[in-house]
Chains A and B, each alone.
Chain A
């Protein structure tokens, strides 16, 4: 392999810096940045996203962190579409944190495509227009008479053609057009195709470097000993044995933790196990049973007042003549994120600045946090994001980056801090634990007249005030309260939605069955009510919501018998501006146990950018949703996690994966979120199918504890 020098020679006379499309830098003229390559051409940056080599090679920059959601492929696809290049000839590079160039650099909230749809295409179109203008000037023709064709500008009248590489030097001197037009949806050639992830070949040959693979000259590996239970503080420690561990070089106290530094991961982890530490309990050292009891008592009481949403009067509706009232309590446990790549980060704190390198979903916020931590201005802190071995919300937090920073600072060396699996599973930032009480009323005509949600959980608010059926019910009240605990929690794939969909969609199913209505028909009826006569604010579009429910029902052959042992359940959720409905099919075996056979899933996320990526994340979301509804829970005994590795925390594996059929609703609506929306309906669809099969209502996760499943 030969290494190429890539010297960036930024010229001094930047003439124009055009900002458009929400602050994206659409041009850097003049000769804003060009990079000579040994024995090759010169690379010009036409804007923050597009680099073209005079030899014709095209490099597109991906600004957002890649966590497996596919943005490193999908975002450059948006640019490539409008630039009009052959996707197969494009190279994609990960950009480091540079918020002056790239407005938004975060992986979270299923937002990358939603937020980039207009601006990234505009960036591609602008670069294309600059190339056209350069060609037109060269040929002495009007730019309007030129067009492009996969990396070339073409003048049809004269038959002249010039490749982008031949034009880029001149294009970089052209004025940056503010009004470059984007393509019409019908002429897309790249968007909507099935395109594999750009890193695949490096991954499948073991060449791709994740954060955990980072190794630098003079770098030490570091492990941390942290409090075994939430709420504990470090009293004292003895490192005699740890220092005798081969490969361990240094032990340091870092606030409430102890850092062990040395030459290899395994050796520092062994050293960490040999630290003898004494910990002091805090004032609240609660166990799972304490939370459960406390939460049940809380939701049994009248809400404290100050509802998040109040439409009409639920109490009056309950008392109305001929009305049936239903009530149920649902519970969801703590869950670990369990990214396969445990938390890790490289930090090099020097007198003149800090270099951070590793897997982080929130590089910008992390830079701010670290700059404060070391008391340096933000521009002294550089952040480069590696492809992540999973995120699921865990890497929105930057606790492990802060730890790496403090260890590097204290030890005076660059470090790669690596959490063991036990650190990772036992170290917190869990999906919050919550309890919900629902109450609903159906009047004598079978109309849903009241809906009440009352919840408590270890998060700011366990409720979503606008969630279905809000807006469709004349009387609705949502009350939620936070329970303070030393147990750290964080967004977890499909935050709030992941457990609210379970409780809400299951309770809705309960009500439907209780009044003898078909769960699909009842949902459509309520959505029609939202459309015809909405109450209060309506977050979702009832037609699109109904559309996915109808589609999933049609795909599943809802209502038609599929044999005496096959049962179905439906659930649907609107999240991150997308609509997803799923029908779960379970089989009742001869021994009476259930097996999840198939999931039919309909998705309306607007335009699908990458068919492969879209299907992949939805499929993964469904299985993730089933897996976490079915198998694991993170329990605590006096603040100490009972499960710290995969031998006691059950993850879904290949044998438990059902058949999955996914269809996307085709429309020309701008794309909406997709990394998360596939997950929330899966659990309740299974719970509702289980009820259809057994008459037993699953109100507590994980479902495996019910004994219903094989």
Chain B
């Protein structure tokens, strides 16, 4: 099947029920998206599918065949970080940072549809993403301060 990922087209032969997460991580070696719960309830595996933050762990790969998938690896353009990535760096919004990829993806999806989100809108968009180290205040600050 043909997959559109980070601006590239991949022709890949995997079982249709394989999770998008495994396809990315195991076969395409894009390991930036992380396994956290396997149930779509922690946010660590989120990727953009046609611009929507989507849990890749419960998304069968066949379902994204004609869609645009963007992972954490595909956000920077020509070496220039996405403003959300830059804002995370500016705030040092990391601890163990295993959740970062999913956090950044959720925030990018939010900013794409709502360039100036309120505090409550940020909370609503990020509520699925667990940061076990609880770096939440800096993550909130990064998203609030990120340039549109």
Which of A's residues lie within 8 Å of B, judged by CB? 67-70, 194, 196-197, 199-201, 203-210, 212-213, 215, 221, 246-247, 263-267, 269, 338-342, 387-392, 418, 420-422, 612, 616-617, 619-624, 627, 645-647, 651-655, 657, 660
Contacts and interface: CB of A to CB of B under 8 A. Distances in A.
Given A197-B92, A266-B19, A206 B32 contact: yes
A620 B39 contact: no
B12 interface: no
B62 interface: no
Contacts of A387: 96-97
B1 interface: no
A200 B88 contact: yes
Nearest to A69: B95
A616 B76 contact: no
Contact of A266 (B22, B71, B89, B123): B22
A128 B71 CA distance: 44
Given A338-B132, A646-B42, 18 more contacts: A197-B97, A200-B88, A200-B97, A204-B88, A204-B89, A205-B73, A206-B33, A206-B72, A215-B26, A221-B26, A390-B133, A391-B96, A623-B136, A653-B136, A654-B122, A654-B123, A654-B139, A655-B127
Contact of A207 (B42, B73, B134): B73
Given A197-B92, A263-B26, A646-B39, A339 B34 contact: no
A205 B76 contact: yes
Given A204-B104, A264-B26, A340-B42, A645 B31 contact: no
A197 B92 CA distance: 7
A205 B130 contact: no
B41 interface: yes
B137 A619 contact: yes
Nearest to A197: B94
A266 B116 CA distance: 38
A624 B113 CA distance: 31
B18 A266 contact: yes
B32 A340 contact: no
Nearest to A679: B134
A421 B96 contact: no
Q: Which residue of A341, A388, A622 has the most chain B CB atoms within 10 A of its CB atom?
A: A341
A265 B133 CA distance: 25
B132 A340 contact: yes
Contacts of A265: 22, 25-26, 35
B134 A623 contact: yes
- Which of under 10, 10 to 19, 20 to 34, or 35 or more describes the interface residues of B? 35 or more
Contacts of B135: 616, 619-620
26 contacts: A201-B89, A204-B81, A204-B94, A206-B71, A206-B72, A206-B73, A207-B73, A208-B97, A212-B34, A264-B27, A340-B36, A340-B130, A341-B36, A341-B96, A387-B97, A418-B35, A612-B92, A616-B135, A620-B133, A645-B38, A645-B39, A651-B132, A653-B129, A655-B123, A657-B134, A657-B136
B22 A267 contact: yes
Nearest to A652: B134
A23 B101 CA distance: 40
A204 B85 contact: yes
A502 B44 CA distance: 31
B37 A616 contact: no
Interface in B74-130: 75-76, 81, 85, 88-89, 92, 94-101, 104, 122-123, 126-130
Contacts of A246: 15
B3 interface: no
Query: Which of A197, A206, A619 has the most B CB atoms < 10 Å from its CB?
Result: A206
B100 to A, nearest CB: 5
B39 A421 contact: yes
A46 B72 CA distance: 38
A609 B139 CA distance: 22
Contact of B44 (A204, A213, A340, A420): A340
A616 B95 contact: yes
A269 B39 CA distance: 13
Contacts of B101: 206
A387 B98 CA distance: 9
Contacts of A340: 34, 36, 42, 44, 96, 98-99, 130-132
Nearest to A611: B92
A210 B127 contact: no
Most chain-A CB neighbours within 10 Å: which of B41, B72, B100, B132? B132
B64 interface: no
Contacts of A389: 34, 96-99
Contacts of B81: 204-205
Going nearest first, the 5 A-B pairs with the smallest beta carbon separation are: A206-B32, A68-B96, A389-B98, A206-B72, A623-B134
Nearest to B31: A213
Contacts of A206: 30-33, 71-73, 101
Nearest to A70: B95
B140 interface: yes
Nearest to B88: A204
A200 B92 contact: yes
A389 B96 CA distance: 5
Contact of B98 (A205, A207, A390, A421): A390
A203 B135 CA distance: 15
Nearest to B22: A266
B14 to A, nearest CB: 9
Interface in B4-55: 15, 18-19, 21-22, 25-27, 29-39, 41-42, 44
Contacts of A67: 96
Contacts of A647: 39, 41
Contacts of A197: 92, 94, 97
A655 B129 CA distance: 11
Nearest to A418: B35
Most chain A beta-carbon neighbours within 10 Å: one of B19, B38, B73, B133: B133
A623 B32 CA distance: 26
A264 B89 contact: no
Contact of A646 (B19, B25, B37, B131): B37
Contacts of A627: 134
Contacts of A210: 31, 34, 98
A706 to B, nearest CB: 22
Contacts of B127: 653-655
A266 B34 CA distance: 13
A642 B140 CA distance: 32
Contacts of A207: 32, 73
Contacts of A215: 26, 29, 31
Nearest to B73: A206
B137 A657 contact: yes
Contacts of B38: 269, 420-422, 645
A269 B37 CA distance: 12
Nearest to A263: B26
Contact of A654 (B32, B92, B98, B136): B136
Contacts of A266: 18-19, 21-22
Given A212-B35, A624-B133, A264 B94 contact: no
Nearest to B128: A653
Contacts of A620: 95, 133-135
A41 B62 CA distance: 50
A338 B100 CA distance: 16
Contact of A68 (B18, B31, B95): B95
B22 A617 contact: no
B108 to A, nearest CB: 12
